Amino acid sequence: MSDSSSDENCSDWIFYKDRPEWADVTPVPQEDGPRTVVKIAYSDKFKDVYNYMRAILKSGEISERALTLTQDALRLNPANYTVWQYRRHLLKNLEKDLQEELDYIGDVIENNPKNYQVWHHRMAIVEWMNDATGELQFIEKMLDLDPKNYHAWKHRQWVLIKFNLFKNELEFTHRLIEDDIRNNSAWNQRYFVINFVNDFDEKVIHQEIEYALNAILKVTKNESSWNYLRGLLIHLDIGLLEPKVVEVCEHLYAQGKKSVHLLAYLVDMAIEKLQMERYEPSEETKVLVNRAKEICKELAEKYDVVRKKYWLYVLDAIETNTTALL
């Protein structure tokens, strides 16, 4: 938590300058220079705590009271990297119970779920303990609060790699995608797992293509599943022309589906096929390219107007490269 009026007015709070056990420490005020342009209006409590924090940093004191001071300082500013670093220094030298620290940082993260420094501190503690028991469950709890929390996902990937806990991760991503098929973070995590564990083995790629296509058939306008599909196809020599994918796309188009992602795929598919038959395009390819031109016009004028200039550029490029062929 950051400083608040409730903290400031807490009746049992005693300023460090008034605590007898801190009488031996001379506080160090913040040095803002001789010409402060915009002076920050720190509360009296904030200035008091950080004046003593700077004094402890300066002296290098290793003590229980210094550890307590870091906790007060971090309650006021949980993003202060220097204080977190010094807290880790104290924990190590005081040989503190790291499980207690893990419980503490868990509470801090729940109040500051998108703070880089708190997640970094948790990573350091887990690494010191060399034990990830319960870690994936903690991260899952945080993702329940915000399924797209970048810091939680980054920490999860670190835990998976560090402790080789990939066994049930695809099932985890599946549950998240089932809950919200548009959860781009879950799709990204699935891609990360396939990459790290299977290194895009061709058999796995085809299994995942089926998975992506099933998702696309459920929600044709979902950009996440289309991006996942394209990410898989770049690892196949045949690329966008993979037969099963082409079949599904043609089926959707025949049904009158006008998803921007579907239309864009058909354009790119035609271009890729033309590049493969650059000098002697087949009649089928000519048909696909002519359709791609019409789709570019539709995208520019109706379905993806925000990128009108892009689609007109693509249309011009197709026409320029096919004038002598079609």
Per-residue H/E/C for 134-147: CHHHHHHHHHHHCC
Q: Look at the block and give the residue holding tokens 């200039």.
A: 309
The tokens for 291 are 């359709």
Q: Model confidence at 1, in pLDDT bands (50, 70, 90)?
A: very low
Rounded mean pLDDT, 198-223:
96
Rounded to an integer, what distance in angstroms lies between the CA atom of residue 63 and that of residue 84? Answer: 15
Poorest-confidence range of 2-11, 128-137, 198-207, 224-233? Answer: 2-11
Q: Model confidence at 176, in pLDDT bands (50, 70, 90)?
A: very high
Instruction: Report yes or no: 47 and 25 within 8 Å, Cβ to Cβ.
Output: no
* 114 a catalytic residue: yes
pLDDT of residue 278: 78
pLDDT of residue 321: 81
The tokens for 20 are 């007898």
Residue 37 pLDDT more than 80?
Answer: no
Q: Read off φ and ψ for residue 170, nearest 5 degrees.
A: -65, -40
Rounded to an integer, what distance in angstroms lies between the CA atom of residue 78 and that of residue 92? Answer: 20
Rounded to an integer, what distance in angstroms lies between the CA atom of residue 171 and that of residue 167? Answer: 9
Rounded to an integer, what distance in angstroms lies between the CA atom of residue 57 and that of residue 41? Answer: 23
Instruction: Report yes or no: 126 and 135 within 8 Å, Cβ to Cβ.
Output: yes
Residue 4 pLDDT more than 50?
Answer: no
Residue 7 pLDDT more than 70?
Answer: no
In terms of Cβ atoms closer than 10 Å to its own Cβ (0-12, 13-18, 19+), residue 75 is middle
If phi > 0 it is left, if psi is from -120 to 50 it is alpha, else beta; for residue 63 that is: beta
Rounded mean pLDDT, 52-69:
98
Q: Which residue has the higher pLDDT, 326 or 183?
A: 183
pLDDT of residue 324: 55
Rounded mean pLDDT, 187-195:
97
The pTM of the full predicted model, rounded to 2 decimals, is 0.90
Poorest-confidence range of 28-42, 119-133, 180-194, 206-220? Answer: 28-42
Instruction: Report yes or no: 325 and 281 within 8 Å, Cβ to Cβ.
Output: yes
Which has the closest alpha carbon to 118: 81, 171, 154?
Answer: 81
Average pLDDT, the chain: 94
Rounded to an integer, what distance in angstroms lies between the CA atom of residue 156 and that of residue 162? Answer: 10
Which has the closest alpha carbon to 114: 83, 76, 75, 78?
Answer: 78
Q: Which of 36-50, 115-129, 274-288 has the highest mean pLDDT?
A: 115-129
Rounded mean pLDDT, 275-289:
88
Distance of CA 124 to the CA centre of its chain: 19
pLDDT of residue 33: 75
Rounded mean pLDDT, 289-304:
97
Rounded mean pLDDT, 241-247:
98
Rounded mean pLDDT, 251-263:
97
Rounded mean pLDDT, 46-57:
97
pLDDT tens track for 88-132: 999 999 999 999 999 999 999 999 999 999 999 999 999 999 999
Neighbours of 146 (CB within 10 A): 13
Rounded mean pLDDT, 177-196:
97
pLDDT of residue 279: 75
Q: Model confidence at 11, in pLDDT bands (50, 70, 90)?
A: low
DSSP state of 241: G
Residues in the chain: 326
pLDDT of residue 178: 97
Catalytic residue among 39, 45, 92, 114: 114
pLDDT tens track for 65-88: 999 999 999 999 999 999 999 999
Query: pLDDT > 90: what percent of the chain?
Result: 87
